[in-house]
Structure 1
Amino acid sequence: MSESRMRTQLADATRGMAQQMIFWGHDVRHPDGNALVRFGLVRRPSTGLQGTSCYSAEWEDGLIELHGTVASWTAPSGKCGCIYCRDRKLITVWNSDQPPVPGRHDAPAAAPAQRWEAFQPLLRWVVRYEEWIASQFQPSFRTSIWKTIRRLPKGKPWLAPTSAIQWWTLALSGTPPRPKQLSPQA
């Protein structure tokens, strides 16, 4: 795949992760209880941002962590993990065996192919989580959040929830289409 196409794919995934973080923010306030905790993540105070939480779970011999501004997969020692920084609109590699601390991390530069490869464990976790959400809640749960994003003056929704999971799944195969090819913004 060309470097240009890889950059485009990372940009699309970055927009998807921005929407995904909004979904997770709503999931913690679900009327039936915190969906992230129900899925198996452990909640603790964030070490980076006062008054916020961090959700973590072991995944593929590493550690998934979700903060308000950062989502990451910290790889086992000697391997390359990834970090998504919401404020920087960036998916990149994470080369430490310690999870990133929001506001106190330096996301290193890396080639697009390396960034995409490092993103794969987090991407697999997102797909697994969204499949679980679909099995636990009515489709209207995600759709209502997405419609709320659309109504905000500065809201920039990515894909409707069913198209989003389709894109994430196709991204796992390495051949996601451009989001606008998947679905109308219904």
Structure 2
Amino acid sequence: MLTIKTGMSPSGSPPLTALYRDLAAGLHQQMYFWGKDAEHSEGNLFVRTGFQKRPSTGLKGTSCYRLPWSNGAIELHGSHAGWLSEEGGMLFIRPIRRCVRWCSATPPVPGKYPKDCYSGRADEVLQRLTRPFLDWWLAHEKEVQRLTSGTYRESCHRLFKKLPRSRAWLRPESATRWVIGLRDCPAELPRARRFEEAR
């Protein structure tokens, strides 16, 4: 797998740090979509695709979702999302809008993210730990297409754009291609804001 350093590469491709800022922006939008998936009119799409739902231990009135995945587990909550294994994993922490390396095999208590439990450095370790999460994200989008109408995800995007102070990211089809690029060939991936221009 191609990797890039956190500095600008000789080819002029974006540093990994910049791509992870884009990923965080995309996940901020995507978590809104996943909230819609949890309350879908035909049933919770996470439960329908095998997730275990449990009450949050941190934020009252909220739920956590867990799915065994790639020798670890996908962890979803309104304040975080990621993949965790015995060696830790990758976590998007929504309140700080950052993708981090979570340094514990124990999932965080929603709403509590001690700084000594994660590293914000965008490097090859974080890139490796992010891959299973991106694999799941792409697989989930295929399941969403299978279980819903063809316009469902676009309607989620339209609703997100209408929210006060929302910053809409790429449209769903473009977002999927960008995530594939980050997973498979980040050295050739443009920043999200230039992604459509680069087609």
Q: TM-score, normalised by structure 1?
A: 0.91
Segments of structure 1 that go 5 or more residues without pairing to the other structure are: none
1:1-150 aligned within 5 A: 1-4=4-7, 5-76=15-86, 79-106=87-114, 107-113=117-123, 114-150=125-161
Segments of structure 2 that go 5 or more residues without pairing to the other structure are: 8-14
Q: Secondary structure at the match of 1:55?
A: strand
* Identity fraction in percent: 33
CA contact (8 A) 1:62 1:75 kept: yes
Q: Secondary structure at the match of 1:49?
A: coil
Q: Identify the structure with bigger relative contact order (alpha carbons < 8 Å, sequence gap 6+).
A: 2
1:183 aligns with 2:191: no
Distance 2:185 2:109 in 1: 29
Q: Secondary structure at the match of 1:112?
A: coil
1:166 aligns with 2:177: yes
Distance 2:167 2:88 in 1: 31
Per-residue CA deviations over 1:63-91 (Å, capped at 9, x if unaligned) read 21101101121112xx2411110011111
CA contact (8 A) 1:92 1:118 kept: no
Q: Secondary structure at the match of 1:150?
A: helix
**How large is the RMSD of aligned CA atoms in angstroms?**
1.6
Distance 2:120 2:128 in 1: 11
